[in-house]
Amino acid sequence: MFATFLPLLLAQVMTPQPEAAAPLRLEARPSAQGVELTVVGQSETPLSASYKLAVTAGSNRSQQSGNVELRPGAPVTMVRLNLGGGEGTTWDAHLEVTLADGRVYSDRQSSR
């Protein structure tokens, strides 16, 4: 009898579960000045997190960090940066989010 259920049990255990959506995400959009980077937070449940954002554009480097308390509801814009420099300027942005329970999310956007 156990042998009958073993394949079903293994199939459930080994099936990848969808990963929860990151509560903070990095968005990049073209803008009149070049590129607009935005960190947006959204959660279906209240949660606490800290974040670190590192941006390199050409020879410039910027780092920002902070703590956030998200509540259910509409998305909240945490950070908004405009990267100028015109066409051909390369940039890289890395967002790392650490939830109060220790889970870590990472997001990277780049012009490359």
How big is the chain, counted in residues? 112
Q: What is the CATH number that goes with domain 26-110?
A: 2.60.40.2420
Write the pLDDT tens digit of every residue in 14-49.
443 334 578 899 999 988 888 899 999 999 999 999
pTM listed for this prediction:
0.76
5, HSE (Cβ side, Cα atoms, 13 Å)? 2
pLDDT band for position 67 (cuts 50, 70, 90): very high
- Residue 103 pLDDT: 93
Phi, psi angles (nearest 5°) of residue 103: -65, 145
CA distance 27 to 38: 5
Q: Where are the domains of the chain?
A: 26-110
Write the pLDDT tens digit of every residue in 69-105.
999 987 889 899 888 766 667 899 999 999 999 999 9
CA distance 86 to 108: 21
